[in-house]
Chains A and B, each alone.
Chain A
Amino acid sequence: MTTMPKIDRRSALLGLGASAGALAVGTRFTHAQSTAPIRIGFQKHATGIGAAYGRWYDATTQAAVARINEMGGINGRPVEIITEDDGTDPKRGAEVLEKFASQHECDVAFGTLYSHVVIGSAPRAGELKLPYFVVSEGHHVASGMLNRYTLQPGITDVKSQVQSMAPFVGANLGKKVAMIYPDFAFGHDHRDYFSAAIEAEGGEVVAKIAIPPTETSFTRYFPQIPRETEVVYHVMVGPAVLTFVKEMGEFFGPSRPEIFGFIDSLEAVAIDSPGLEFLEGTYFWEGNPRYAQENQTEWDAAYRDAVGVDETGASVDDARDVSTYAHMFGCWETLNVIKAGMEASGYQGPADRPALIEAVEAMSEMPEGMDHPQGPKLFNGRTHQVFGQQFISQVRDGKLVVAHTASIEDGMYEDEVDYTMQPF
């Protein structure tokens, strides 16, 4: 279908005047732009269901920008973070992107976690021609649902995470898996991707137990777990997770199967909290190990120090203030990717946004270091998605101890889109 070219607002009325004005001040503007800060719009979940994540995403972002500025900024210009609360709501998220592009005149937008906010905002990013770097772990970017202006270069996606868990689960915990997951899109992703991945390992999912999002008690679901189950796979996002764990402990008692879960539910929650004793000996996926490990890298130590997190993953100022350590490194690493992309493209202003995106698309290997303290990464410019190592930790004496590190290759999958084919 042929579509008419888009009409520039008010151009018919104001075009001549604006052109004359631009000519008159052109030289001064160019000079001002070269020294003005790079403005990065931070779409923060300051309120709503994502607030616990938003607070730590903010702390990580501020620390990363402080480091970048200490190193001289980007292309000789300081970096300024413009923060707007999206309320963890897709409608407000889209409005916030409009504020970044049109009111704050940001160069790029960044930092969104919750998938529905990303998906609700991304169309506007594409329309506003605003590069949108998300830290969401959703598969929405690599699935091809979004657009060329949306990228996820700092954190792996759920498909990759789930897929890379299956070899360890199948080889070490058991082949017959009962899955308990929330009955919404995030849970369905786990159900679908893990089912396929464990079958590839010669295992099978013997039960798929979907929990309605409004559920507050889980006792009636546990009897649905078949007796033959060797591993219970759980991913319960939301405040009901404490009840879930407590009731699961009451149901199984001392003779439980192996249990594997995703830490998402327990981010910002102390693993030794009263009621979570049943988790002792169970396993968790972690994007980045919350507890400093014996083989801690110098990069992780420096990153913890910069962000203000101690060796247990809690704030250095308050041991009860547990961070969202498994995810928030994505903000740190994404900002460093933005910096690298702007430097590679010689970014000067909004006119260089396509060049910035092309520069990021051209990236591939990202070595472990201070820019990537979680570990080495491999970026796929066609799908706009990064791949990295994953961690499986076991709860031992109330601490999370890494039992296995899944390789980058464990999480790779076939391309589902080639964004580089889309026009700017």
Chain B
Amino acid sequence: MSERLRTDALHLGVIALLVVLFLTLPTYYAGNLSRIMVLAIYAIGYNLLFGYTGLLSLGHAMFFAAGMYGYGLTAQLAGWPALPAFALGILAGAALGLVVGALALRTAGVAFMIVTLMFAQSAYLTILYFGTWTRGDEGFVVPGVARVVLGIDLSGETERFVAALILFSLVLLVSGRLVRSRLGRTLVAIRENEERTRMLGYDATRLKLIAITVSAALSGLAGAAYALLFGYVGASFAAVPYSIFPLLWVLLGGAGTTVGPLIGVFFMFYLIDTASGITLAYMLIAGLALVLLTLFAPQGIAGLVRRRVRWLP
């Protein structure tokens, strides 16, 4: 079996597994799958930049929020139907990624991290500043009519799952193809040795800008999807923790692997969910687990698997 076929088969297997889990798990756990898939889209977007291109952003929450507010505000204030508003959310993420990328890519390394963090903080404060329209820190509930797509109300459990599954599957399959494409391999080359890539004649700055824009578009898609499927838009999603989460998910799951982001979100979600039932200091348990994982599996869970299964994409 070719590498491409094996990769597609793996991804289709993951999608099939999600369907099986939805049909067989108890209601609570089945319901969590929708949220996990939406957050996994966000993590896949982050992974494209961090795991494959080697750029560590500390400001991705602004792209997630751009999608969320791009969708939510047009639905709330302009009364746009779900699909055009959703498309605008993705566009908002991509546009912000293009602008921030064009400015932030003048820096590298630690400076890039700080610049993206500062941009994200500015975006967060901008949302608060325009509180008349955004309702600031409180946020707002998405109008019910803007959660109906092609006559289907996505606030239902099964409908929400199917919508999340479609979005996640598309992103997983497309990103799987993307990272094995000429563009994807060039991004990996930049990650491994940017100077050498430049010497080979590639315009590394332009390619990194493309990576940021695509990564931001996927993050925006996730933000818009969260608002569409869960009915809430709020500034807390633009705050610093939501820039750190995708980094943790990707590190846990396995940076530079296609299934790592989903594994990372899954692991982190249930780590917090389970630990919070045991102690109030559940973030301490989460932190301890992260330290242990970093010590004993620095390449993440999927990275650990890749040691044995070399072809794991």
Contacts and interface: CB of A to CB of B under 8 A. Distances in A.
A116 interface: yes
A116 B138 contact: yes
A9 B22 CA distance: 9
Interface string B125-163: 100110110011111111001001001110111110100
B241 to A, nearest CB: 8
B231 interface: yes
Nearest to A3: B153
A102 B138 contact: no
A116 B234 contact: yes
A123 B155 contact: yes
Nearest to A7: B158
Given A119-B232, A188-B131, A95 B139 contact: no
A213 B128 contact: yes
Contact of B27 (A9, A89, A138, A140): A9
A46 B280 CA distance: 7
Given A120-B139, A120-B234, A185 B131 contact: yes
A95 B232 CA distance: 13
A47 B137 contact: no
A214 B239 CA distance: 12
Interface in A199-214: 212-214
Interface in A51-105: 84-85, 89-91, 94-95, 98-99, 102-103
Interface in A374-391: none
Nearest to B128: A184
Contacts of A10: 23
A95 B276 CA distance: 12
A9 B141 contact: no
A103 B138 CA distance: 27
Contacts of A124: 230-231
A90 B161 CA distance: 20
A138 B142 CA distance: 18
A116 B234 CA distance: 7
Interface string A5-21: 01111100100000000
A188 B138 CA distance: 11
A266 B188 CA distance: 54
Interface in A115-143: 115-116, 119-120, 122-124, 126-127, 138, 140
A13 B23 contact: yes
B148 to A, nearest CB: 5
A8 B158 contact: yes
A192 B135 CA distance: 13
Contact of A102 (B31, B151, B230, B231): B31
Contact of B140 (A1, A145, A212): A145
B153 A140 contact: no
Interface residues of B, number: 46
Contact of A90 (B31, B232, B280): B232
A6 B232 contact: no
A145 B158 CA distance: 25
Interface string A285-321: 0000000000000000000000000000000000000
Interface in B17-34: 22-23, 26-28, 30-32
A8 B151 CA distance: 17
A119 B139 contact: yes
A4 interface: yes
A186 B139 CA distance: 11
Nearest to B281: A47
A321 to B, nearest CB: 17
A264 interface: no
B266 to A, nearest CB: 14
A7 B159 contact: yes
B35 interface: yes
B69 interface: no
B159 A89 contact: no
Contacts of A84: 276-277
Nearest to A14: B23
Contacts of B234: 90, 116, 119-120
Contacts of B158: 6-9
Nearest to A139: B138
B131 A184 contact: yes
B42 to A, nearest CB: 12
A6 B160 CA distance: 10
B63 interface: no
A6 B154 CA distance: 9
A85 B232 contact: no
A98 B32 contact: yes
B283 interface: yes
B74 interface: no
A404 to B, nearest CB: 29
Given A6-B153, A103-B27, 15 more contacts: A6-B155, A7-B159, A8-B158, A9-B22, A84-B276, A85-B276, A90-B232, A95-B35, A102-B26, A102-B31, A127-B155, A145-B140, A184-B137, A212-B128, A213-B137
26 contacts: A3-B152, A6-B153, A6-B157, A7-B156, A7-B158, A9-B157, A84-B277, A98-B32, A99-B273, A102-B27, A102-B28, A120-B139, A120-B234, A123-B142, A123-B232, A124-B231, A126-B155, A127-B155, A127-B157, A145-B140, A185-B135, A186-B137, A188-B136, A212-B128, A213-B125, A214-B125
Closest 6 CB pairs of A and B: A123-B231, A6-B156, A102-B28, A185-B138, A103-B28, A185-B136
Interface of A: 1-4, 6-10, 13, 46-47, 84-85, 89-91, 94-95, 98-99, 102-103, 115-116, 119-120, 122-124, 126-127, 138, 140, 145-146, 183-186, 188, 212-214
Interface of B: 22-23, 26-28, 30-32, 35, 125, 128-129, 131-132, 135-142, 145, 148, 151-153, 155-159, 161, 230-232, 234-237, 273, 276-277, 280, 282-283
